[in-house]
Amino acid sequence: MKRQKRDRLERAHSRGYQAGLIGKAKDACPYQSSDSRSQWLGGWREAVGDRSDGLVNLR
């Protein structure tokens, strides 16, 4: 996989994780392409899981 493509997908995952941490709905995903959307949702699910497990303290 090309570095540019990997970076783009890593960024989508990171942005999804951040959105999940602050409590955004998964419908707020800004990506249309299936690869980026999948990565964003994966990050979002990971963050929601971390929040529910108490692994993340926002304050």
pLDDT computed for residue 55 by the predictor: 77
Q: What's CA 53's distance to the chain center, in Å?
A: 17
Q: Could you report the per-residue pLDDT of 19-52, keeping only the tens digit for each?
A: 999 999 999 999 999 999 999 999 999 999 999 8
In the numeric block, which tokens belong to residue 52?
A: 């529910």
Annotate 4-28 with DSSP letters as a single string. HHHHHHHHHHHHHHHHHHHT--GGG
Q: What's CA 26's distance to the chain center, in Å?
A: 9
Helix 3-22 to helix 34-53 angle (10° resolution) is 40
Q: Which domains does the chain have, with CATH numbers?
A: 3-53 (1.10.10.620)
Is the pTM higher than 0.85? The answer reads no
Cα end-to-end distance, the chain, whole Å: 38
